[in-house]
Amino acid sequence: MSGANLKWSNWSGGVKATPDVIWRPRDEAELAGLIKAYRGPIRPAGSGHSFTRLCESPGAMVSLENMTGLISADPAQGEAELWAGTPVYAAGPLLHPHGLALANQGDIDRQTLGGAIGTGTHGTGLTLGSLSTMVAGVTLVTGTGDILNLDINNEPELAEAARLSFGSMGVITRFRLKLVPSFALTESSYVADAGTILNQLEDMAAKHRHFEFFWFPYADRVVVKTLDVAEGIRPERVLDIPAMKARGERVSRDEKLFAMICRSVRFLPWTSAWFHKLLTNQMAEGEARSGRVRWSWETFPSARTTRFNEMEYAVPRPQAGAAIRALVDRIRRDRIPTAFPIEFRYVKGDDLWLSPFYGRDSATLSVHQHASMNQWGLFRAAEEVCRGFDGRPHWGKQHTLTAKEFAAIYPKWESFQAARRRADPEGKFLSPYMRSLLET
């Protein structure tokens, strides 16, 4: 599709693009031909759930909405190949009949596999890496229009770099994923004293497969959420793809109330502290589903319908408690208004060259601001605190870092750049924003 009036926007509405053309290829050969003939910039887009300008292009944008679904499954090997345009909400229903599942997911399932894996999207769990760590192989259509099947045995350097490359090496069309046998989860959610939870962080994280908490920074209590494998239980309910799709868009009564509170905080910023106490209790009641057992892929995602912008930093696991304490203190000290809680999660360290979790077990601290409010008072404070703890930003969430800082943060920066330049020697996938991230 091309024309003067093409418009694209990300989920929060904070990033808008007017590309010359949006391609919706049906197969790799068509995509390769388009890339070969175009000068750039070209940007792949998933479902636009990144808060940064990663997908924006004044030239071509690529949607893989016609390249979705399961290609093959091998339960004996614990692997499956899926098209990169597949939405995360479809992965569960597609893999479940083969007895397979993703080992972990984030807290929504609206993303595509291409976007989620491309930015190191993660859930929570001391022993669990991001979605990018589940990749065993990819098919990449490069900036030269070549179609490459990459894995540890075939171009291992390109394969290594491509696993977390946010569309900087070309368009990934297929992922071969390492999976786990299907499993069900028991959910538990409750309110606890913030100081008590901070003193027990490591114990809580060791005790539960998934442990996270939400801290409305003006409250002294936090909302704790844990998920654990329900051994031997096979829930009867198995949602199909349309049901999973619809579920994530449903606007609940709680979401409506929360949207109203967000608007109040915008006009009456001093109400933040009052609402934080109310929301802590309300969130716990809303989430009081203790004991409920469902398949993992039905359990992980929640519906998030109130639009916001987000920043997230990964800090080293040993500093996690001190970092969130410092962040809460800073928000209180500067009286920064927000209706949102800070989300605290654990992610296992990995060896992906541009992963925020490279070489270290980490905790992630996420701050959010309603899409109608200026987020930078909160985000600059959060960034300063988290950088003070050697934090690394999520590629899909807002931050102010550029290539010079990334080169200092990531030990394998130059290896990544060499692989990227091999895959895209003319820099066709570099928009102005991508240049700011990747070119010093």
Ligand X SMILES: Cc1cc2nc3c(=O)[nH]c(=O)nc-3n(C[C@H](O)[C@H](O)[C@H](O)COP(=O)(O)OP(=O)(O)OC[C@H]3O[C@@H](n4cnc5c(N)ncnc54)[C@H](O)[C@@H]3O)c2cc1C
Write out the residues near ligand X by the rule CB under 6 A: 11, 43-50, 54-55, 64, 84, 106-108, 111-112, 114-116, 118-119, 121-122, 166-167, 171-172, 304, 394, 396
Q: How far apart are alpha carbons 138 and 164 in whole angstroms?
A: 11
Q: What is the DSSP string of 217-254?
A: TTSSEEEEEEEEE-TT---S----HHHHHHHTT---HH
Cα gap 379→24, rounded to integer Å: 35
Q: Is 88 or 201 the residue whose CB approaches ligand X more closely?
A: 88
Give the span between the Cα atoms of 369 and 186, in whole angstroms.
Answer: 30
Q: What are phi and psi of 108, to 5 degrees?
A: -135, 165
Find, among 311, 312, 314, 310, the residue nearest to 390 by Cα: 314
Closest CA relative to residue 118, chosen from 77, 79, 71, 62: 62
Q: Which is nearer to ligand X, 4 or 309 (CB)?
A: 309
Nearer to ligand X, 218 or 313 (CB): 313
Pairing of strands 180-181, 184-193: unpaired
Tell me, what DSSP letter sits at residue 200?
Answer: T
Do 161 and 152 contact (CB within 8 A), yes or no? no
Nearest C-alpha neighbor of 166 from the set 278, 46, 72, 303:
46
Q: Min. distance of Cβ 324 from ligand X in angstroms?
A: 17
Q: Is 421 exposed, middle or buried (0-12, 13-18, 19+ CB in 10 A)?
A: middle
Closer to ligand X by CB, 25 or 93: give it: 25
To ligand X, the closest distance from the beta carbon of 309 in angstroms equals 9
Q: Which is nearer to ligand X, 143 or 217 (CB)?
A: 143
CB of 220 to ligand X, least distance (A): 25
Task: Compare residues 17 and 116 and give the one whose CB is closer to ligand X.
Answer: 116
Residue with tokens 């409920």: 292
Q: Cα(129)–Cα(103) distance, rounded to whole angstroms? A: 9
Residue 82 or 172: the one with the smaller Cβ distance to ligand X is 172
Cα radius of gyration (the chain): 21
For the bound state, the minimum distance from the C-beta of residue 65 to ligand X, rounded and expressed in Å, comes to 11
Q: Which residue number, 54 or 320, has a Cβ lying nearer to ligand X?
A: 54
Which residue from 419, 426, 438 is spatially nearest to 155, judged by alpha carbons?
419
Q: How far is the CB of 404 from ligand X (least distance, A)?
A: 20
Return the number of the residue (281 or 300) whose C-beta is nearest ligand X. Answer: 300
Residue number with the shortest CB distance to ligand X? 115
**For residues 400 and 418, what is the distance between their CA atoms, to the nearest angstrom?**
24
Closer residue to ligand X in complex, CB, 119/182: 119
Q: Shortest approach of ligand X to residue 269 CB, angstroms?
A: 23
Nearest approach in angstroms of CB 105 to ligand X is 8
Helix or strand or coil: residue 100? strand
Burial class (CB in 10 A: 0-12, 13-18, 19+), 275: buried
Work out how close the CB of 234 gets to ligand X at its nearest, in angstroms, rounded to a whole number: 26
Instruction: Tell me how far, at minimum, the Cβ of 270 lies from ligand X, in Å.
Output: 27
Return the number of the residue (195 or 382) whose C-beta is nearest ligand X.
382
CB of 398 to ligand X, least distance (A): 10
Minimum distance from residue 99 beta carbon to ligand X (Å): 25
Strand 293-295: give its sheet, edge to edge: 293-295, 184-193, 221-229, 210-215, 342-347, 362-370, 308-316, 392-393
